Amino acid sequence: MEERYCLSLGCPQPVSFGGFRFCPECGHLLRLRDRFIPHRMLGQGGFGRTVLATDLDRPSHPLCVIKQFLPLNGNREQALKARELFAREAKLLEQLGDHPQIPRLYAYFEQEDGPYLVQEYVAGRHLGAELAQEGAFSAAAILAVLRGILPVLAFLHNRGVIHRDVKPENIIRRAGDGTLILVDFGAGKEEVSSEVIATRVGTPQFAAPEQLMGRPVPASDLYALGVTCIHLWTGCGPAELFDAYSGQWVWRCALKDGFDPRLGAVVDRLLHGPLQLRYASAAAVLGDLMSVSVAPPCSHDGLTVSSESDDYARLVALMDGDLWQEADHLTWDLLCTAAAKVVGSYLFVADVAVIPCAIWLRLDRLWRSHSGERFGWSVRQEIFESVGRNYGQLCWQIGWRQRSAAGRSMWLSGDHLNYDRSAPRGHLPWINGFYGHEGACGEQDLMVTLGDRLIQCLKQQG
């Protein structure tokens, strides 16, 4: 059933399920401007909340993000300033137009309960979440972040705009192609003369000294990008990496992997406090990065990861974007590659032992963790054991076998599966090709073989 979210500020139960036009709790219309249908809250910040929605005015009915202004409990001056920042984001997004790494503005308007901003939805995961879930970034990954974000900053600065809040949580790796997207322009501002003191906004731990004094310049964004890099590279918070007594960043000793001196020199220059020592433009940084080449590292479980195309990062982004069918297809491609088969071909029971344990465990861990322990081979194996290894009962329990409206038993497969978090536990991954010509739902010996392989891999891991 469709999830709907009530935008009324006083609604006691904002979440409902079904095609209601009005909220069953408070009677508030469950559409915004009779165009946007809110589904679920994505997050809430200092003066607004973001809600995932559907845009009915566009032919494909794409997902979008509604940003709703929330009145502050502070004084009137603070409330007015917050409202100004909210409106400024819409103005800047309109001014910047269409850029492939900046969310597009769809609408900005005011209603009785306050202003709303609607923009493009970017499916994916921000770099802060990547750090929390996958650990410290490699040098190659840091180089990719710099090369991905610096062109966006150059675009902003060339148009007289300073972002003022560059940090991992405001950089999203888009699902599907891994492109880095810069978001949250609520703190953004057009450049002002040096005589004018700007409002102090942004995140203090990432902000440049001149920005903290109310005098941001384009190089302030470069400083914040430098702090972002050492935070991701070391896995430590900015406060842990700055020596207040010497006024220096001491991040190198916190590195867990090897150090690349050329890349380190670029990051050091991004972090200089005095403006005359720091890079003056994003283009200058990109120029120095042209001579930097970092070899692709090995991941924590021994798999080689490409700095140019990290399939596992793309898989995670797909999962976090609730693109489960695409994640299922990519998982299959990774398994085919691991078994030395042509991508998209069949795999059979004998191939279970060919695929390295590191790959089985990593993929299973990603499916479990990013689905809230709903999906994954080990999840399905637990259910298989609970029904006495009866394959027919397993298929009923995980939703691969259902009853039609006429009461007949039917098997689900491929595009007919439920590629949603609401699917029964153990429903995914499907991996149709694994069963080859052995039947639509697979055979019991596959479940036994895969279960034994997972147990063997866990024992090897210790």
Q: Quick check: bond before 209 cis, omega within 30?
A: no
CATH class of 3-120: alpha beta
CATH superfamily for 323-461 is: Gun4-like (1.10.10.1770)
Residue 266 has pLDDT above 90, yes or no: yes
pLDDT band at 313 (very low <50, low <70, confident <90, very high): confident
Tokens of 450: 């895969």
- Going by pLDDT thresholds of 50, 70 and 90, the confidence category of residue 442 is very low
> Which one, of 95, 86, 76, 73, lies nearest residue 114 by Cα?
86
The more confident residue out of 197 and 287 is: 287
Q: List, by residue number, the catalytic residues.
A: 165
Query: What is the Cα–Cα distance from 17 to 4, expressed in whole angstroms?
Result: 6
Tokens, residue 225: 């990008």
DSSP, res 341: -
Q: How is 274-286 classified by DSSP, letter by letter?
A: SGGGS-S-HHHHH
Does residue 119 carry a pLDDT above 60? yes
**pLDDT at position 431 over 70:** no
Domains of the chain by residue range: 3-120, 124-289, 323-461
How far does Cα 280 stand from its chain's mean position? 30
d(CA 117, CA 110): 9
| Cβ count near 289 (within 10 Å) | 16
Cα→Cα distances 209→46, 204, 269, Å? 23, 9, 15
pLDDT in tens, 176-193: 778 899 998 765 454 443
pLDDT of residue 343: 62
Taking residues 139-150, report their average pLDDT: 90
Take residue 27 and report the two structure tokens written for it. Answer: 């009677």
CA angle centred on 68, ends 98 and 133, rounded to 5°: 75
Res 145: pLDDT: 93
Per-residue pLDDT tens over the stretch 192-250: 434 333 444 568 999 999 999 988 999 999 999 999 999 999 999 999 998 888 888 98
Percentage, residues of the chain above pLDDT 90: 21
pLDDT at 201: 56
Q: How far apart are CA 121 and CA 276, in angstroms?
A: 39
Mean pLDDT for 49-75 is 83
For 124-289, CATH gives 1.10.510.10
CA-to-CA distance for 405 and 65, rounded, in angstroms?
Answer: 36
How far apart (Å, rounded) are the C-alpha atoms in residues 122 and 298? 29
Of 140-154, 274-288, 388-402, the least confident: 388-402
Q: DSSP string of 152-212? A: HHHHHHHTTEE----SGGGEEEETTT--EEE---TT-EE---TTSPPP--S-GGG--HHHH
How far apart, in Å, are the Cα atoms of 68 and each of 50, 65, 71, 335, 384?
A: 6, 10, 10, 43, 45
**Residue 136 CB neighbours (<10 A):** 18
